[in-house]
Chain A
């Protein structure tokens, strides 16, 4: 059976089609999906292109930023109000990947990919999904937890998050090949200080499980602490808690767990370890 391509102006029409057609897949930039088809995956029979212009928009109102699912990494890099997010968009593949790769597609990328999703997780993003039952908003962590068993026909239309206070967002990706390479680990953090101590922390890891994950145990332990070397030394056992990294061509699970605290320390204490 051959391949086909279908274009839909309305998300709801695309959802219905996807629900009925088992081999139909939404295509974003196609950097993973078309590659899969090129590799010989015959399960994909139809590319579904959703042409809703809302899905290509970047909006900000009252400190809330909304990224349409079809916004590309290149589009983010060119957006003057989002330069603080550039460290997370710039490390997705090379320039030609970035002019195709979308925010929505990144949420579906298997480890060690999905670096932008790591940033979104640390930003506390909420995902808007359209499905057979209508429109819902899911916290990104919930989306990742359900990713392997999503109902048929589900389309991510946007992600939204509150603009973090200036200087509180940090991101690093460690890879073997520079400037472009898959992650050994990627880390994003939003840390708010309160009287010299950590008031709130959201930290997310990429390539440390099947999907991006929050560093929940470490986050909890960090609250109320001073961000200094002694604190990180003491809290180090929390860092790898809950991680189940893959072993792949980039790194073994053991190696990923061994270097994660080092990269986290460099990110959190750049003035000392960077």
Chain B
């Protein structure tokens, strides 16, 4: 099978990897970069746990082709914490008990991060809409919604650029 060289940015770092032609971004991340934060759930675009940001937009890495991400800026949950400090979203998830088994959490956090990029002060309705492609079988969603709303508050209090 043909191996294709790809260059892209992963969480701010330049990367070069070979992938099998036709592979998904999820396979590139998990098999080649060692970043296991995007989860392999349904592989059908339905559960959202594989959500990452590609050039700032939320994408389901299980149905995104790796070769379409050549030259792209890819962000996963592994890049959320900076300088040893948890991101406000990660803090809020702990405080609001918004992760139980944790399988949906990476996708939820990236969907929330995508929301903050376009809408730093979301309403509850905006949060529900932003997380609507992400399934959680444990929490009943409410703690996750509360965590995202609370992180938005913390971040807008600490000024623009916090996302």
> Shortest distance in angstroms between B8's beta carbon and chain A's nearest beta carbon?
15
Q: Do the beta carbons of B44 and A95 come within 8 Å of each other?
A: no
B157 interface contact, C-beta 8 A: no
Name which residue of chain A comes closest to B46, CB basis.
Answer: A35
Task: State how many residues of chain A have any CB contact under 8 Å with chain B.
Answer: 26
A180 interface contact, C-beta 8 A: yes
Name which residue of chain A comes closest to B107, CB basis.
Answer: A96
- Name the residue in B21, B62, B130 with the highest tally of chain A Cβ atoms < 10 Å from its Cβ: B21
Q: Kindly state the separation between the CA atoms of A179 and B128 in the bound complex, as whole angstroms.
A: 8
1/0 contact trace for A21-53 toward B, CB 8 Å? 000000100110011011100000011010000
A79 interface contact, C-beta 8 A: no
Q: Do the beta carbons of A95 and B130 come within 8 Å of each other?
A: yes
Name which residue of chain A comes closest to B22, CB basis.
Answer: A3
Query: Could you say which of B52-60, B76-84, B94-102 contacts chain A?
Result: B52-60
Residues from chain B with a CB closer than 8 A to the CB of A3 are 1, 20-23
Considering the complex, which residues of chain B in the window 4-62 have a beta carbon less than 8 Å from any beta carbon of chain A? 4, 20-24, 43-45, 48, 51, 57-60, 62
B65 interface contact, C-beta 8 A: yes
> Shortest distance in angstroms between A55's beta carbon and chain B's nearest beta carbon?
14
Residues from chain A with a CB closer than 8 A to the CB of B134 are 94
1/0 contact trace for B125-151 toward A, CB 8 Å? 000111111100000000000000000
Residues from chain B with a CB closer than 8 A to the CB of A31 are 45, 60, 63
> Shortest distance in angstroms between B138's beta carbon and chain A's nearest beta carbon?
18
Q: A5-B4, A30-B64, A100-B64 are in contact. Are A95 and B132 (CB under 8 A)?
A: yes
Q: A38-B43, A47-B22, A74-B57 are in contact. Are A95 and B65 (CB under 8 A)?
A: no
Q: Do the beta carbons of B133 and A97 come within 8 Å of each other?
A: yes
Q: Do the beta carbons of B22 and A5 come within 8 Å of each other?
A: yes
Per DSSP, are chain B's interface residues mostly helix, strand or loop, or mixed? mixed
Task: State how many residues of chain B have any CB contact under 8 Å with chain A.
Answer: 33
Q: Do the beta carbons of A46 and B22 come within 8 Å of each other?
A: yes
Q: Kindly state the separation between the CA atoms of A34 and B129 in the bound complex, as whole angstroms.
A: 24
- Name the residue in B1, B58, B131, B134 with the highest tally of chain A Cβ atoms < 10 Å from its Cβ: B58
Name which residue of chain B comes closest to A6, CB basis.
Answer: B21
Residues from chain A with a CB closer than 8 A to the CB of B128 are 179
A12 interface contact, C-beta 8 A: no
> Shortest distance in angstroms between A256's beta carbon and chain B's nearest beta carbon?
22
Among candidates B20, B45, B115, B132, residue contacting A2 with C-beta atoms closer than 8 Å: B20
B111 interface contact, C-beta 8 A: yes
> Shortest distance in angstroms between B115's beta carbon and chain A's nearest beta carbon?
8
Q: A3-B20, A5-B21, A39-B44 are in contact. Are A180 and B64 (CB under 8 A)?
A: no
Q: Kindly state the separation between the CA atoms of A2 and B24 in the bound complex, as whole angstroms.
A: 13
Residues from chain B with a CB closer than 8 A to the CB of A100 are 59-60, 63-64
Q: Do the beta carbons of B20 and A96 come within 8 Å of each other?
A: no
Q: A27-B65, A95-B111, A95-B114 are in contact. Are A179 and B59 (CB under 8 A)?
A: no
B75 interface contact, C-beta 8 A: no
Residues from chain B with a CB closer than 8 A to the CB of A64 are none
Q: Do the beta carbons of B59 and A99 come within 8 Å of each other?
A: yes
Among candidates B44, B63, B67, B132, residue contacting A94 with C-beta atoms closer than 8 Å: B132
Name which residue of chain A comes closest to B63, CB basis.
Answer: A34
Q: Kindly state the separation between the CA atoms of A5 and B134 in the bound complex, as whole angstroms.
A: 28
Q: Do the beta carbons of A30 and B22 come within 8 Å of each other?
A: no
Q: Do the beta carbons of A99 and B58 come within 8 Å of each other?
A: yes
Q: Do the beta carbons of B62 and A38 come within 8 Å of each other?
A: yes
Chain B interface (Cβ within 8 Å of chain A)? 1-2, 4, 20-24, 43-45, 48, 51, 57-60, 62-65, 67-68, 111, 114-115, 128-134
Question: What are some 12 contacts across the A-B interface (CB < 8 A)?
Answer: A3-B20, A4-B1, A4-B2, A5-B4, A7-B67, A47-B65, A74-B57, A93-B133, A94-B48, A99-B58, A99-B59, A100-B63
